[in-house]
Structure formats: C-alpha cells, structure tokens
Structure 1
Amino acid sequence: MAQAATENPQEPLPLDPRTAPVPRYGHASLSDLLPAVVTAQGLEGLEGLQTGLRLEPADRACVFLVDGLGWEALRAHPEETPFLTSLLDTSLGGTGTALTAGFPSTTASSLASVGTGLPPGRHGLPGYTALDPDTGRLMNQLRWQPWTEPHVWQPYPTVFQLADTAGITASQVSAPHFEQTPLTRVALSGGTFYGVLSAEDRMDRAAERLAAADRTLVYTYYAELDGHGHRYGIDSDAWRGQLMYVDRLAQRLAEQLPPRSALYITADHGMVDVPTTPQARFDVDEDWELSAGVAQLGGEGRMRHLYAVPGAARDVASVWREVLAGHAWVATREEAVGLGWFGPRIDDRVHARIGDVVAAMSGDAAVVATEREPKESALIGMHGSATSAEQLVPLLEVRT
C-alpha cells in the first residue's frame, strides 16, 4: 500500500525504551568484578555478593581502574596502546569481550558498583546528581554536595571491608586527596589507604602492596584520561597522549607483579564526543517544552533524571519522547525499573532517587542546561548513557 501523503518518512520516531541496551548484571558488569575476584581467592558465598562471573584463582589480585577507558575507544587506538592492545584477547576471562559498566555509566555509580559489588539500584548512587527524597534537593554524588551522611546514603559494606575481615590484606593506592572523600568511604574503603601523588609511584606502590602478604587485594586508580576526554574530546591529541601514558602505566605495573598474581585492568565507563551544534545539544534552559513540568533536573548531559511536578510525569515523558525522537530512550521510572536499567532489584530507599522520567541518550546528542550547569554543558566528551561506547569497558588480565 502506498504511504499516506501526510506522513513524513524523514521524521524520526521516538525510541522504544525496551530497545535500550541493558547492562549484564549478575555475570558481566562492574558490580560482578570484585565478587568474582575474591571468590577466586577462596572467599565463596559472601552474603549478597554472588555472581555468575568466573575468574581463574589467584592468591594476589590487583584492580587497576582507568577512569574513562572505554572498550571501543581502546580498540580504536592500537598504535597508542601497544601493551593494552596485546591484552585484548584476555578480556573478560579470556573471551576477548567487554564488561558492561552499569547504568548510568558515570563515575560515582560505577565506583560504587565496583566497591560494593552491587548494582546502582542496591547501593543507591544512581547518577551524577540525584534527588535526595528526604530534603527535596539534588545531591551531587561525585562531589557529595550538599552533605549527606555517607553510610546512611550507602549502608552496605564494601568488598574490601569483607575481604579484610576474612583475612585478605586489602589496600587502596590512589591520589592522596581521595582518602577522606565520602565516595571513597562508601565505595572503596576497607584495609589500608595509601596516598601516592605520582602515577608512576602509584604503580610501584600497588605492586609492593600486592606482594605484602600471601593473599592480597589491591585497588589503584588513574583519573586524568577522563578529564582530558571531557575537556578536549576523545578525538584530540591531548586525549591520545593520555592514552599513551596509561599504556605505559599499565605495563609498568604488570612488569612488577609478584608470583601468584592477577592484574585486572578496567574502567568505570567509556565516552562519546558531543558536537557543539544546536542539533546535538538540547538546552533545557532554552527549550520551554523540555522544561515544562520538570521541577528538578538531575543526572548529566547523556543521562537525565527528571523529577516532575506532582501529576506531570506522564506529560513530561510524552513531551521528551517527542522532542528527543531518534535521540533518546525515554522511560518512566516504573518502565526503567521494570526493564532492569538500574539492576534486577531496587532497594526501597533508592526508588525515589530515580527520576520520575529517565532519558538515556543514543547517538552523540546530549541534553544540557547552560544556565544551571554552565561548566558541564561546555564539555566535549560526555558519558552516562546506555550506548556501547559508554557502557562497554575492558577487563584485561595479566597473570604470574
């Protein structure tokens, strides 16, 4: 039958939220990593930390997390990363495939997933900013502003704490300023923190701590790749220079591994470059349709929590689906929870932190807020959504 004359074949249709990629919680997500690591060290059956991810046994385990090292970007830059590229086939237990970060694919959520072994729906850090239902204010979960009691916001023990109690010598080796941050306290504490300023010295100290006992668990972290991606984009010489440096750091650590060790190189998320054009940057502060009915705007450019005025949630979802047609998966809270975006289970205390409407961007577009979020809106590289460029992260492995 001929197409009706009133239809516009060029008009994009709203994306069905059921088509959004869902993280592989339970067997191939960041929340499965440390439960699998400590299980391989002989700690089986820890309450709440069961996982389908299986790793080969190792008495000593080190996780080196590179902020912003996406799987797709890594695979696209073999010349800058000869060492990491040589390990691609080892990823995810030798399958040569990637982990999924979890949703949203952002640092606070991912680090909490790594450290607690729980998806965002359980640990309760569901985005860059999220509503605190007790105060009605948005909370920045990376900077922890405004102040909220950390262990009320995230009450579960970390895997490091559980491992340390069970007799595994646990250490975190990171930049000194991270030692007392609330995010470290709720996500990465347990054992002993070693503040080391130089990244090269950090690798050396991580290797020392790995050899410090018969069974050890060490975490170390590098942040600057993500920062350069945000400021200059992942299609920049500055970002590629950082990637080359990360490759050297990883090799430096790998060459110092003591016997009976496993080194896991991973990341918290990938990144996409968002063009600086009006067609790619939807500005809530300039678009009355997108701002109508939205009392609080949470999340970040690539993944938005929309907290609606009472009774407006369905209308907000409908308008955002139409305005962002072809650019975003837009779901109500109930739809996002039912589809498992934040994990297979949502704790009661976490439910209202999720937006009444959740918008996850596809392609390379973003929803910015140039008046409320001028710095974030000016970034080139962004992340947070469900696309493979943001979701997929490596799990490279070196063993001795």
Structure 2
Amino acid sequence: MTAAEAFTEPAYGDRSLGDVVPAVARSLGIGADAVGPPPTGLLLPDAGSWVVFLVDGLGAELLQRYAHAAPYLSSLVEGSATGTAGVPSTTATSLTSLGTGLTPGTHGLVGFTARVPGTDRLLNHLWWDKRVDPMEWQPHPTAFARLGAAGVQVTVVNKREFEGSGLTVAAHRGAEYVGADRVGERIAGVVAAAATSPSLTYVYDSDLDWTGHKFGVSSTQWLQQLAMVDAEAEQMREALPASTRLLVIADHGMIDSPTDARVDVDEVTELRDGVALIGGEARFRHLYCSRGSVADVVDTWRGVLGDRATVLTRDDAVARGWFGASSAGVLPRMGDVLVACRGDLGIVSSVDFAYEMSLVGLHGSLTSTEMLIPILVG
C-alpha cells in the first residue's frame, strides 16, 4: 500500500473531535478533571468565551481544494491544526464525539445505522427510534454537561426540529438549547449566548453536507453553498466581540462516488451469503453475520472487493483502534465484519437502502478526504 492509499487513523486523545471540548475547557481555565484530560495535540488560545461553529461536511482537504470559494475560512488555515473525525467519519458519530468528549467505542453511536443488540433492527442515529431511549443508548454524562457543572454556560444553537431529538439528547444534553432555523437567527443566537463569560456556544450548519450528498462536492451547487458558509462564518466573527474566539470545525469530509464505482449487494448476490443484516452506510458497512459465518463472509467480501476496501472482523477493527476505547456493551452494536471503502467505492443496497442510490457525495470511511477536518481559530 502506498502512502497515498493509506488510511488516516483517528487521532483520539490528540486532535480528534472528542478533544475539542476538553481543549476549550483548558482555554477557559477549567481544570482537567472537570471535563477530561486535555488533548496532547490541540492547544487553543486563552479566552473568556468560545463559539464552536461546526460545518457539516467541510473536510480539510475540500477546503484546501476549493479555497477560492471560501476566502475567509481559507485565511485562517495558515498555522492552524488539522484534526480528525472518529470512525466511522459520519455525522451522528462525530457530533456525539464532540458533545461527549468520548470515543465512538465508548459513547456507542458507531455509525449512521447500527444494530440494536438482540434484535434484527437497525437504529438510524439521525432519525432515531422511539423504542430506544437515548439516555440508555448513550448513558455517559456529556462533556457539555460536565463543563456546565464546572460553571461554564453551555449553549447549543441549532434548528428547532432537532431540539429533543434522540441524537440531541444522546450527544448534547446538559446544554441550553436555542432554536434557530435561519442564518440570521443563528448568528443572533450565538452573539447573545456568547455574551456570558465563561461560556461555550456550539452552532451547527448542515446545508453544505446536504448539498454535497445531493449534487456532489465538485458541483456548482456545492461551491455556491461553501461560499455562503464562508460568509456566515465571517459575519459571525464580525458580530462577536474580540474577547470571544471563534472555532470553525467539521464532522467529516466527503467523496463523490459515481454510479459505476458502486457495488450493489443485491446484484452481487454472493455478498449476501452468511449476512443476516447490513448496517452502517455506503462507505463504511457493518455486516451482522449468521452464526458461524464470519470467516466465510470476510473471505467472500475480500475476494469480491479486493484492494477497493479493507474488510476486517470486529475484533481486528477494535484492536486497530478504529473506535477508540470500546466498552463491552457497545461491541454488539458493531458489525461482526466491518468494510471500509477506498477510492470512490460505494457499497449500496437497492433493496434495503434505496435512498442511498440517489446520493452523489458519500462519507464514512478512513480516507484522508473523509477523515481530516479543519480546526480554524478566528
């Protein structure tokens, strides 16, 4: 494997999404015991208040590649750190790592979809399932809550529809929630929340990710949306006092996957052999196997996909540190076999996940384009 083909390993404890809130806590002068050990590779300047602006889908390599469309954000790149998403590089996993300060193997949101242990059901971590209590699914106190208990005002500014959702409760409980559906509302909500010191205000924008999924990251639509995000970040910075620092991050990057680069498990039917349930997403599949079939499933998938993907048993993936520290209760949510795509491969199911067939941009795997995220201080 050449260096260009190597996966980007998650930088847990160093410069991953789970290390952002501990780094902010250290900047605010909050003791390490309050939130967790400060990361070894992420040092933020001292400030009385922070605004963390997460742009869904804005990978570090995409920002570098399309710098002309984002002049303000690009002006912050020089001298900045690059961080990593966790594994898989997907929104629900990343947002929970940020909000809890925990690795995916501990907080338990280990993919876009994951099996509910003891059932034949998948839990979609974005849309959730009322039969699953998010407080039980993710029982650990969040980093937001721990920071709040240490005397810091913590506020989430996000769309109204996300308030009280399963993902919000699992990932961001313990923070005050401010509903804001439009850019102007978001900026006003951020400015009001950040007026308190010490404070952490988290604000989220999903539009770039949606545009990339629908049209692709090389599309005119995506570039126009990037320009709008850039303007939003600049306006936010201008509206905030100098004593408040702005931190712009992302949850993952994205890769365009053309239809001829995809493998449909309902057409290559041997990929169904020994697999009771398929979860995850098109770039990172969880395969839940029938009893005694794990070795055969690994051999079949490796034989079909070759060097287009890395196929590992759960034990091997955990041993590699893909999910970070992993608790026994979370392990059954992971596939018996994990399939991480390389290049522009997408593994789809026209039967089980028909909606994925219409997506252009995908993410979830460990390529540098998907894993590397900007950490920009303004």
How does the TM-score come out when normalised to structure 1?
0.91
| Alignment-derived partner of residue 187 in structure 1 | 171
Match of 1:169 among 135, 140, 153: 153
Instruction: Tell me how far apart the structure 2 counterparts of residues 25 and 191 of structure 1 sit (CA, whole Å).
Output: 24
Distance change (3 Å), C-alpha of 1:221 and 1:90: farther
Match of 2:265 among 269, 284, 290: 284
| Alignment-derived partner of residue 208 in structure 2 | 225
CA-atom RMSD in angstroms: 1.6
| Alignment-derived partner of residue 140 in structure 2 | 156
Moved over 4 A (4+): none
| Alignment-derived partner of residue 234 in structure 2 | 251
| Alignment-derived partner of residue 249 in structure 2 | 266
Deviation at 1:147, TM superposition (A): 3.0
Deviation at 1:90, TM superposition (A): 4.3
| Alignment-derived partner of residue 342 in structure 1 | 323
- Letter of the 1:210 counterpart: A
Instruction: Tell me how far apart the structure 1 counterparts of residues 302 and 34 of structure 2 sit (CA, whole Å).
Output: 40
Higher gyration radius (CA): 1
Deviation at 1:86, TM superposition (A): 0.4
Q: Unaligned 5+ residue runs, structure 2?
A: none
Does 2:334 align with 1:354? yes
Q: Give the match's secondary structure for 2:326.
A: coil
Instruction: Tell me how far apart the structure 1 counterparts of residues 23 and 354 of structure 2 sit (CA, whole Å).
Output: 40
Match of 2:301 among 311, 320, 327: 320
Deviation at 1:38, TM superposition (A): 1.0
Residues 188-207 of structure 1 aligned to structure 2 (within 5 Å): 188-207=172-191
- Letter of the 1:59 counterpart: G
Q: Give the match's secondary structure for 2:285.
A: strand
Distance change (3 Å), C-alpha of 1:348 and 1:48: farther
Instruction: Tell me how far apart the structure 1 counterparts of residues 203 and 173 of structure 2 sit (CA, whole Å).
Output: 12
Cα distance per residue 1:155-187 (max 9 Å; x no partner): 111121111111111111111111111111111
Deviation at 1:247, TM superposition (A): 0.3
| Alignment-derived partner of residue 4 in structure 1 | none
Residues 136-155 of structure 1 aligned to structure 2 (within 5 Å): 136-145=120-129, 147-155=131-139
Cα distance per residue 1:173-214 (max 9 Å; x no partner): 111111111111111122311101211220222022111x22
Instruction: Tell me how far apart the structure 2 counterparts of residues 181 and 90 of structure 1 sit (CA, whole Å).
Output: 37
Q: Is the 8 A contact 2:22 2:35 kept in 1?
A: no
Instruction: Tell me how far apart the structure 2 counterparts of residues 198 and 21 of structure 1 sit (CA, whole Å).
Output: 35
Between 1:163-172 and 1:384-393, the stretch displaced more is 163-172
Deviation at 1:48, TM superposition (A): 6.8
Between 1:129-138 and 1:107-116, the stretch displaced more is 129-138
| Alignment-derived partner of residue 305 in structure 1 | 286
Q: Is the 8 A contact 1:295 1:307 kept in 2?
A: yes
Q: Is the 8 A contact 2:25 2:35 kept in 1?
A: no
Q: Give the match's secondary structure for 1:151.
A: helix
Match of 1:67 among 53, 56, 62: 56
Deviation at 1:19, TM superposition (A): 5.3
Q: Is the 8 A contact 1:90 1:397 kept in 2?
A: no
Q: Is the 8 A contact 1:333 1:358 kept in 2?
A: yes
Does 2:21 align with 1:34? yes
Instruction: Tell me how far apart the structure 2 counterparts of residues 59 and 321 of structure 1 sit (CA, whole Å).
Output: 52
Q: Is the 8 A contact 1:301 1:377 kept in 2?
A: no
Q: Is the 8 A contact 2:35 2:146 kept in 1?
A: no
- Letter of the 1:307 counterpart: Y
Instruction: Tell me how far apart the structure 1 counterparts of residues 187 and 279 of structure 2 sit (CA, whole Å).
Output: 36
Aligned residues: 374
Q: Is the 8 A contact 1:69 1:225 kept in 2?
A: yes
Q: Is the 8 A contact 1:268 1:393 kept in 2?
A: yes
Does 2:52 align with 1:55? no
Match of 1:293 among 257, 274, 280: 274
| Alignment-derived partner of residue 3 in structure 1 | none
Q: Is the 8 A contact 1:70 1:393 kept in 2?
A: yes
- Letter of the 1:321 counterpart: R
Match of 1:234 among 217, 233, 250: 217
Cα distance per residue 1:200-257 (max 9 Å; x no partner): 220222022111x221110001011100100100111111110000000000011122
Instruction: Tell me how far apart the structure 1 counterparts of residues 323 and 340 of structure 2 sit (CA, whole Å).
Output: 12
Cα distance per residue 1:325-348 (max 9 Å; x no partner): 1210111001000000011x1111
Cα distance per residue 1:302-350 (max 9 Å; x no partner): 000000000001110111111111210111001000000011x111110
